[in-house]
A and B are shown apart, each in its own frame.
Chain A
Amino acid sequence: MTNIPLVPEATKPLPKITDQSGLLTWVASVDHKLLGILYILTSGFFMLVGGIEALLMRIQLGSANNTFLSPAVYNQLFTMHGTTMVFLVVMPLLIGFGVYLVPLMIGATDMAFPRLNAMSYWLFLLGGLLLYYSFVSGGAPDVGWFSYAPLSEKPYATGLGVDYWALGLLVTGIGSLAGGINFVVTIMTMRAPGMKLTQMPMFVWTTFINGFLLILALPPLNAALVMLLADRQLTAHFFRPQGGGDSVLWQHYFWAFGHPEVYIMVLPAFGMLSEVIPVFSRKPLFGYSFVAGSTVAILLLSLLVYGHHMLTTDLGPVWNFFFGAASILIAVPTGIKIFNWCATMIGGKIRFTTSMKFATAFLLLFTIGGITGVSFAVVPIDWQSNNSYYVVAHMHYVLFGGTYFAVMAGTYYWFPKMTGRMLSEKLGVWHFWLTFIGFNMTFFIQHVLGVAGMPRRVYTYPKFAGWELMNLISTIGAFILAFSVLVLIINVIISLVRGKEAGDNPWDAWTLEWATTSPPPVYNFDQVPPIRGRRPLWDLKHPEDPDWKRREPDRQRSTEE
């Protein structure tokens, strides 16, 4: 074999990737860090849009017999608010954090399939734009975020809104599916030498399980959407009773996706919490294997319980009992996690940074959401409270009080890694308390409204119903919440310009993403530290007392003197 040079000699100096920070870098990049930030920024933008939609609805509901919005516009707003928040905010936000953090946490240079990763992001953006194009095309979808047939069929939704809804979700859905596959393959095959599955950070675990959920739960949505599109565009009969179709089939398919989706929207948040709480309690995560195991249990159970969204559909007592019982069961693995986080905090040297404040508030708010969730699994209670504001309060406690608070904990925790600068703790105090007060003011009262009989998705209510004061309180709370988001944006902008320099490891954390510079270089690591336990940076810093030398009972010991 002759020695032909494999690469021709460069005639001019090669361009350095770090030199280019222009638009093309952002559009053409396949780097997981840039894509992760793009995911987070784009879903942040959609969150502002969805938030404004929510504020408009709250203004409308602030007083009885209000005429601020017409019923038609109100229907479009609640549909778009729900769809936006689920598909364009929470899902991509969590996927974005995963795309940014998972390769760093497992000591890899990128995802397993960087170009597939880029495709997922751009499909998400395209799907979002398709969905919002419906406003221009003559009316947004107005049939609710779960688009029950036959209301979503041509005779009842004549515009193109539902078509854009279905197309948009199909496109983002394919992107998320590819993202899920990418997570699973990355975590299975790209871990740094020596890192066992049982040594991965918990955020990697939950993202791993989330990948499986995306792979299994998105196809039912895609199948349902192509059937709906066939009905609407090709006059097929899947869900149209006029042609012999069965509209309940849509409910089955949609919720076969819709319930696992709930866990897609919360599992990575659980992972974030499992990173933040140990670091700020200065203790290893209590019961690592139980937290990971309960995540797997949630994966399996979540595929079996979707029928609890249909307890009022008249599936018959046997199915109602089955779905009710299975749903109560799912509280067990979730409860295990809450206990583990509390046990991690007990006896720890807790540092109440803004991140930790959000994490602690999560424990309280998510537990409230969990308790109201269990109450729905009791079939008669569900019959009584279905489609009331009690449901609205419940899901916002889980998704806002749960996921949003966890994401905020994660934002304050990882912002220094992503940008190299700390978020201001001073503004953080304001941000936290405004969010906490605004959130509870908006949504706690809605439990009462729901029990008092106020149905969801109505654009107004009469004076004699006696709901006016409570609705007004909720509306004021929503504006406080909006103000808190403003504080966050100001905090991000100010901190980007003149925040404190973060350094590699500002929180003295133990997982691999803190072993590199902030922000990390394009190739992530110069050298990956040796991995012999769950906290490689602890082992590196304390060679006299590394985790892997401790016997099992000592592993939970507080690690800070």
Chain B
Amino acid sequence: MSEARMQPAQVSTQPEQAGLSARDREAMDSKSPEVPRLLMDRTKLMMLCFLGSEVVFFGLLIIAYIYYQVKGIQGPNAKEILNVPRTFVFSLFLFASSGTIFIAERFLARKNHRMFITWMWITVLFGAIFIAGQVWEYTELLSDNITMTRNLFGTTFFTVTGFHGLHVTAGLIVLSIFTVLGMLGDFRRGHSSALTAASWYWHFVDVVWVVIFSLIYLIPFFSQS
């Protein structure tokens, strides 16, 4: 009958680990031999699944852009109206922010809390500069009567870059919350899977911009005709 012995319910299946003390959390994290090693932390896995769906979402918006470019667009197009050098400078800030959040995480791992907070704010600042650049660009385009309604370039351009901008803004809000929580004394343990997940999101938003920037700005800028 030894197989029929009842085992206690798994500890780590407690819902919502929030509200537990740091000591409780550490007890949960310790690997009991009976608990099989999980494939992955649930927060990170959730972020991976979410990013998977985001890849499809952005992929389809970008395919729509490419489709209409190939099909041929009447009226103003990327080559004539986009200020590529200026957007490139602002893009550098977004690209750099991927590096700064990486540095912030390294400081967190070394338990250098002050530097962690500093580099998180730098990340937020760089992201905000990028958004400011996008606002500047949109204002100019709109005042030149380049709108969603003007032609298919406007339709697809504002949809693709607009959704990207929304994602950057959402990321800024999330990162700011994390940073403020850090200033209030959270993340002292040197590791937070929620923060890692947020940084993955931030890298993803960055990678999407690499694709969008190459496609919408660089290719027309360097093409001959």
Query: Which A positions have Cβ atoms within 8 angstroms of B?
Result: 6, 30, 107-115, 177, 180-182, 184-185, 188-190, 192-194, 211, 215-216, 218-220, 222-224, 226-227, 230, 234-238, 243-246, 249, 253, 256, 523, 525-530, 532, 539-540, 543, 546
Contact = CB atoms under 8 A, between A and B. Distances in A.
B50 A181 contact: yes
Contacts of B45: 184-185, 188-189
A194 B15 contact: no
Given A181-B49, A193-B34, A244-B151, A525 B9 contact: yes
A286 to B, nearest CB: 25
A543 B2 CA distance: 9
A237 B23 CA distance: 57
Given A181-B50, A246-B67, A112 B42 contact: yes
A177 B53 contact: yes
B9 A109 contact: yes
Contacts of B152: 237, 243-245
Contact of B36 (A112, A194, A227, A526): A194
A528 B52 CA distance: 33
Nearest to B34: A193
Given A114-B16, A543-B3, 19 more contacts: A6-B21, A112-B46, A113-B42, A180-B49, A188-B39, A188-B45, A189-B45, A193-B10, A193-B35, A223-B64, A234-B149, A237-B149, A237-B152, A244-B151, A246-B71, A523-B9, A528-B6, A529-B7, A543-B1
Which 3 interchain pairs have the tightest Cβ spacing?
A219-B56, A219-B57, A110-B15
Nearest to B156: A238
A111 B68 CA distance: 43
- Decide if the interface of chain B is mainly helix, strand, loop or mixed: helix
Contacts of A222: 57
B169 to A, nearest CB: 16
Nearest to A222: B57
A105 to B, nearest CB: 13
Interface in B54-82: 54, 56-57, 60-61, 64, 67-68, 71, 73-74
B86 interface: no
A184 B10 contact: no
Interface in B142-189: 148-149, 151-152, 154-156, 158-159, 163
B64 A189 contact: no
Given A230-B159, A236-B159, A185 B42 contact: yes
18 contacts: A30-B16, A108-B10, A181-B50, A181-B53, A184-B45, A185-B46, A189-B38, A193-B7, A194-B36, A216-B56, A223-B64, A236-B149, A243-B151, A246-B68, A527-B7, A529-B6, A540-B4, A543-B3
A249 B159 CA distance: 15
A236 to B, nearest CB: 4
Contacts of A109: 9, 13-15
A162 B108 CA distance: 49
A227 B159 contact: yes
A546 B3 CA distance: 10
Contacts of B57: 219, 222-223
Contacts, number: 155
Contacts of B16: 30, 114-115
Nearest to A218: B53
Interface string B8-29: 1110011110000101100000
A549 to B, nearest CB: 9
Given A189-B39, A223-B57, A543-B3, A114 B15 contact: yes
Contacts of B1: 543
A169 to B, nearest CB: 15
B159 A185 contact: no
A459 to B, nearest CB: 35
Given A219-B60, A236-B159, A244-B152, A192 B10 contact: yes
Contacts of A184: 45, 49
Contacts of A220: 56, 60
A550 to B, nearest CB: 14
Q: Which of B39, B71, B159 has the most CB of A within 10 A?
A: B159
A218 B56 CA distance: 9
A215 B3 contact: no
A218 B57 CA distance: 9
Contacts of B73: 244
Given A218-B53, A530-B3, A190 B13 contact: yes
Nearest to B14: A109
Contacts of A238: 64, 155-156, 159
Contact of B60 (A111, A223, A539, A540): A223
B141 to A, nearest CB: 14
A235 B149 contact: yes
B46 A113 contact: yes
Given A188-B45, A539-B3, A219 B10 contact: no
A180 B53 CA distance: 10
Contacts of B64: 223, 227, 238, 249
B206 to A, nearest CB: 20
A110 B17 CA distance: 12
Contact of A530 (B7, B53, B154): B7
Nearest to A181: B49
Nearest to B24: A6
Nearest to B21: A6
A362 B30 CA distance: 47
A455 B59 CA distance: 36
A471 B200 CA distance: 57
B4 A530 contact: yes
Given A238-B64, A245-B152, A216 B52 contact: yes
Contacts of A111: 15
A442 B12 CA distance: 51
B52 A215 contact: yes
A188 B40 contact: yes
Contact of B61 (A223, A528, A546): A223
B54 to A, nearest CB: 7
Contacts of A6: 21, 23-24
A244 B7 contact: no
B13 A108 contact: yes
A112 B12 CA distance: 10
B4 A543 contact: yes
Contacts of A236: 148-149, 154-155, 158-159
A356 B181 CA distance: 54
Contacts of A532: 3
Nearest to A189: B42
Contacts of A527: 6-9
B154 to A, nearest CB: 8
A30 B57 CA distance: 29
